[in-house]
Structure formats: C-alpha cells, structure tokens
Amino acid sequence: MRNKLPKLALAIVAFAATPALANELDKPVQVNTSGMQPSVAAQVQKHADESTKALMEYLWFTRRIHHLWLDDVTKPASDAVAANEPRKELRQMATRTTGLQ
C-alpha cells in the first residue's frame, strides 16, 4: 500500500494537468511557408489555422514526402537557414587536360 501512494499522487497530478496542456494544442499557430511549393504551403497553412495538433499530425503523416518538421515551419523567417546563409562562390580549378573546370 505504501508504494502505491506516490504513484497514485503522480497520476492525480498528471490527470489534473491534462486539460491545461491540451488547451495549448487547440490554438492556431503562425507558420513561415516561404520557400515551399504553393500546394504544400497551402496545406501547412490550412492545418496551422486549425490547431497546433492538426499541424503536427499533418507534418507527421507527410514527413517522408515533404521532409518538414514542426520547427521548420514555426520558426520566423529571420531564423530560416536558407534565407540567412550566404551563397558560396565555387572555386575554379585549372587542369592540364580540360582547362577550367
């Protein structure tokens, strides 16, 4: 009986906190769809307007097709890697047989 009391107390606290945590998932979330194909961007925006949970489910079910994760679409445009990385200039190498490569 003594070992069951801490487990029971933890279960009660977890059960009481569930509505508070679930409430956060029901809110719409703002997404950054720049750089996506228009059809993918429309689907991401549609699910983001419904709720965070709907967006997470959509991204999970299409993860092997679009390779998008929640962090990829929820971070602001200024934090996007592709927008901030400077474009690399490729070096040209001279070879004996073909000239510039």
Q: What is the pLDDT of residues 44-94, one digit of tens each?
A: 999 999 999 999 999 999 999 999 999 889 888 766 555 555 667 777 766
Q: Between the CA of residue 9 and those of 2, 56, 59, what are the distances in Å?
A: 12, 31, 35
Q: Tell me 77's DSSP state.
A: G
Q: Which residues contact 63 (CB under 8 A, 6 or more apart)?
A: 69
- Model-level pTM? 0.56
How does pLDDT run across 2-31, given as a tens digit for each residue? 677 777 767 776 666 655 555 667 889 999
CA terminus-to-terminus distance, the chain? 78
Distance CA 65, CA 77 (A): 22
